[in-house]
Structure 1
């Protein structure tokens, strides 16, 4: 008569252990990623080309090792699936084109206000941006710019592969897809606290100001992480989060305070509001798994969930 209760206790203990293994594996990856930035000793600022090149090499190496961490986690947790580690991490061909276009379009809709703001202040800006996008010489100049490469290519690719592609498959079996969307970004947000050390080293601001900036950065990186985690689990691709990440890095945070002081603030605020409302309306339709095929990471979920 006591056997079922004993089996239930053992099952709960196994689940508890599995969750700890998943969380510690994610923590290990986050520490490896941030730690790799500081293996190079230098007194130069973070935007110096030599610092950027060394750090890019470090995080690219950690990203290349992240599938091995996921594979090791699968071995420890006895996770057996009929797809590859790369497919679990969102690197796959099925549904690739819509996965690259639709999430980016959704992100641009959210940025409708800032885009209209930019067009109002510089009517020729959009045309110039389009010409630059089609100009080989402009791309060559960008590729030669270390800061551009870091912000638009290396950071989006490596951060999304590690903090979304690798971490979400390890968290989904423990927390379920919906909770994983809100759990994984915490590692991403906390990872950005290393900027406190850099700002303190440069001694530019008082500690109170540095902590306030770090807190704000934690907030918006976590919120952004929730969005890209949602995109990853809805599409099963890492390319969408990477492109959204790169686009957001190019745009920065929406400057609502500047919009309020603009001569045409009513029209601008309307565009900000419309962008946000359209984003909410299109969030689920544009990320419908119908466009992307079967989602490999969702087979790890302990039970069906709305996000998948």
Structure 2
């Protein structure tokens, strides 16, 4: 198996098989515990924490096995390839989160308008240790804000992208990786059908919508991962989006201040598109190990289109 763009199929079969295995293992780990309780029950959440953390901790070993089996030579340590490194850590922590907040400018303004607290009260709560104790003892909060963002970004971005890039190149990998992420969320259909949470048609329509939304979000965090070479940015963006939720566009259009809200919704999207490349400029984040993998794609590196390198410059 050649990683230099020579004859043969290259690392693609091994890459796709490993990514599919990771997705199946992640989702399968949620169902190893037999229970008649719903997914939001604390006991169910605790058990799933255990299994999903085991799968996530083992996923880097699969990347190492893939690397050894495919013959790909990334020229970087495994942890650095997975986005766990110190170089450029501060901008990689701050800039992607700020960029995501810009995109959600409209929903954030909407939340502030409807929030019964003023800014001072909000800051008091945010800096109150008792508030964080309550959060850290709430299993649903831990799942949505900590465990799910970290484990999903580790498995579906940090582990899958290094395996996909030598096969597809940087650009296609950004749009291929989220397909595994989106399909993985179809497991919610099982529980919704099991607990009769709506009609069959409404459940499947909801699943299709969730697949589309998670695929788009997955492409965005994959873009962030490749442009920054860090895991922390995608994790924080994921946690933030889980907290804010999908923008309540319908509620905004029925809001007493709907014209102002529509303005901020549109302003957020425009500013996001303008700032997307400048705020993720790889120059902020130092050497990007994953970008070196794009030179291992087939055809040979000399004929790789310049668009392949635009993701890293």
TM-score (normalised: structure 1): 0.94
RMSD: 1.4
For 1:175, the equivalent position in structure 2 comes to: 168
Aligned match of 1:291: 284
Where 1:192 maps in the other structure, the secondary structure is helix
Per the alignment, residue 3 of structure 1 pairs with: none
1:12-70 CA-to-partner distances (Å, cap 9, x unmatched) read: 4232xx21110110000000000000000001000000100110111111110011000
**Counterpart in the other structure of 2:300:** none
Q: Which residue of 2 aligns with 1:252?
A: 245
Q: Would you say 1:11 and 2:6 are equivalent positions?
A: yes
Q: Residue 159 of structure 1 is aligned with which of 129, 141, 152?
A: 152
Q: Which residue of 2 aligns with 1:90?
A: 83
Pick from 108, 111, 115 the counterpart of residue 115 of structure 1.
Answer: 108
2:311 counterpart of 1:307: yes
Check the 8 A contact 2:75/2:289 in 1, yes or no. Answer: no
Note the residue ranges of structure 2 that are not aligned, 5 or more in a row.
296-303
Kindly indicate whether the alpha-carbon contact (under 8 Å) linking 1:37 and 1:58 is maintained by their aligned counterparts in 2. Answer: yes
**Conserved 8 A contact 2:29-2:52:** yes
Partner Cα separation in structure 1 for residue 62 and residue 121 of structure 2: 44
Q: Which runs of 4+ in 1 moved over 4 A?
A: none
Does the Cα contact within 8 Å between 1:178 and 1:305 map onto a contact in 2? no
Structure 1: 5+ residue stretches without partners: 1-6
C-alpha contact 1:178 1:306 (8 A) present in aligned 2: no
3-state DSSP of counterpart to 1:193: helix
What's the TM-score, normalizing by structure 2? 0.92
Q: CA deviation at 1:223?
A: 0.4
Q: 1:258 to 1:162 in 2, by over 3 A?
A: same
2: CA distance, partners of 1:83 / 1:125 = 48
Moved more, 231-240 or 80-89: 80-89
Q: Give the corresponding residue for 1:24.
A: 17
Q: Give me the whole-angstrom Cα distance separating, in 1, the residues matched to 2:49 and 2:94.
A: 26
- The aligned residue for residue 299 of structure 2 is none
For the Cα contact (< 8 Å) 1:36–1:62, is it kept in 2? yes
The change in CA–CA distance for 1:209 and 1:67 in structure 2 (over 3 A counts) is same
**In the alignment, does 2:56 pair up with 1:52?**
no
Aligned length: 298
1:239 matched residue in structure 2: 232
Shift of 1:121: 1.9
Residue 233 of structure 1 aligns to a residue whose secondary structure is: helix
Query: Could you tell me whether the CA contact under 8 Å between 1:99 and 1:240 is conserved in 2?
Result: yes
Q: 1:82, CA displacement in angstroms?
A: 2.9
